[in-house]
């Protein structure tokens, strides 16, 4: 499929896009649009510093490996609330996320962000698609990611094909931390992601959750910050599968294999509850 790219001269207003998302609650089709969005975006040092603090990243010269998701968030919102997109944004479930850091992300000031959707597939509970995001700097491709999203209630022909990450290496405890009751609101301030399921028990209950849950990408970011000494800074593929949500507040434990070019990690809750499974490996 050839992507029909549209270039925006400025970053969209997230506030306006949330209003649009709130008014679209129905499935309107089963075909993904072939259009994508691009825009030049500057890295805001103050916002980056706040993100580092909330997610636990060290203040160094490298852009955190998960931060490009923040740079791309407004464009992603614009794409997922467009009339051509057939699924309601509110209610989408983030199943997995894969990022590839192609080169060291040092000295990054301005990038071109591109977003598109592809790979619509049947799922036992509906349908999944990939939200694909890429970053380019003046030297070319820098970072890319796919977030697999589930829309419940979509009916597609074909057999569901689910991929499950499984640890291959022995793991030991690396870190432990608390996810406080307000971490959803803290992360929303630095990321722009004000999904109601993360903000409070009251708003989460409107979407079927007994209490607020942590953002999946905060779980991943907090984990990668704790694994900074384990992971390569470039030429690395980091994939995670989100499992049981982290209910707020909670205490979680990070398990990981020894540092190296490849490894496994797992985020656990009380009673060995599996919140997230992950793996890192060189880009081949």
Q: How far apart are CA 78 and CA 115, in angstroms?
A: 10
**Over the stretch 91-111, which tens digit does the pLDDT of each residue have?**
899 999 999 999 999 989 999
For a pLDDT cut of 70, what percent of the chain falls above it? 100
Whether 179 and 144 map to the same domain: the answer is no
Domain end marker among 163, 192, 215: 163
The domain that holds 76 is classified in CATH as 3.10.129.10
Residues 57 and 91 in one domain: yes
Mean confidence (pLDDT) of the chain = 94
* 191 and 257 belong to one structural domain: yes
Domain count across the chain: 2
- Given 142, 163, 184, the domain boundary residue is 163
User: Which pLDDT value is given to residue 1?
Assistant: 64
Q: What is the DSSP string of 197-235?
A: GGT-HHHHHTTT-SS-B--HHHHHHHHHHHTTTTS-SSS
144 and 158 fall within a common domain: yes
pLDDT tens-place string over residues 201-226: 999 998 888 999 999 999 999 999 99
CA distance 104 to 63: 9
Give pLDDT, residue 169.
Answer: 84
Same-domain pairing of 130 and 172: no
Instruction: Give the residue numbers spanning the domain of 196.
Output: 164-284
Summarize pLDDT for 120-158 with one digit per residue, the tens. Answer: 999 999 999 999 999 999 999 999 999 999 999 998 988
One domain, residues 184 and 283:
yes
Q: Are residues 208 and 108 in the same domain?
A: no
Residues 180 and 158 placed together within one structural domain of the fold: no
Looking at the structure, tell me whether residues 179 and 87 fall in a common domain. Answer: no
Q: Final residue of a domain: which of 135, 163, 191?
A: 163
pLDDT band at 50 (very low <50, low <70, confident <90, very high): very high
Compare 2 and 228 and report the one with higher pLDDT: 228
Whether 15 and 85 map to the same domain: the answer is yes
Whether residue 5 sits in one domain with residue 140: yes
User: What does the radius of gyration of the chain's CA atoms come to, in whole angstroms?
Assistant: 18
Within this chain, do residues 120 and 225 fall inside the same structural domain, yes or no?
no
pLDDT at 161 > cutoff 80: no
| Residue 273 CB partners (closer than 8 Å, separation 6+) | 244
């Amino acid at each position: 499929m050839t992507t029909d790219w549209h270039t925006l001269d400025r970053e969209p207003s997230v506030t306006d896009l949330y209003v649009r998302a709130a008014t679209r609650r129905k499935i309107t089709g089963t075909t993904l649009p072939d259009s994508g969005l691009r825009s030049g975006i500057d890295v805001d040092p103050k916002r980056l510093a706040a993100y580092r603090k909330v997610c636990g990243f060290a203040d160094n010269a490298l852009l955190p490996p998960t931060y490009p998701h923040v740079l791309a968030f407004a464009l992603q919102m614009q794409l997922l609330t467009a009339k051509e997109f057939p699924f309601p944004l509110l209610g989408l479930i983030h199943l997995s996320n894969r990022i590839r850091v192609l080169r060291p992300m040092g000295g990054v000031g301005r990038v071109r962000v591109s977003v598109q959707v592809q790979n619509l597939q049947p799922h036992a509970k509906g349908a999944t698609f990939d939200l694909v995001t890429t970053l380019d700097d003046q030297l070319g491709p820098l970072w890319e990611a796919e977030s697999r999203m589930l829309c419940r209630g979509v009916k597609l022909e074909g057999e569901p094909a689910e991929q499950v990450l499984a640890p291959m290496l022995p793991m030991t405890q690396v870190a432990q931390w608390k996810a406080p009751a307000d971490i959803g609101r803290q992360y929303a301030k630095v990321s722009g992601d004000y999904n109601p399921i993360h903000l409070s028990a009251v708003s989460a209950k409107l979407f079927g959750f007994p209490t607020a849950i942590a953002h999946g990408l905060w779980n991943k970011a907090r984990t990668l910050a704790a694994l900074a000494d384990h992971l390569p800074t470039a030429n690395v593929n980091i994939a995670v599968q989100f499992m049981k949500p982290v209910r707020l507040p909670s205490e979680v434990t990070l398990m990981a294999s020894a540092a190296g070019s490849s490894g496994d990690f797992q985020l656990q809750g009380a009673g060995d509850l599996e919140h997230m499974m992950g793996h890192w490996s060189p880009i081949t």
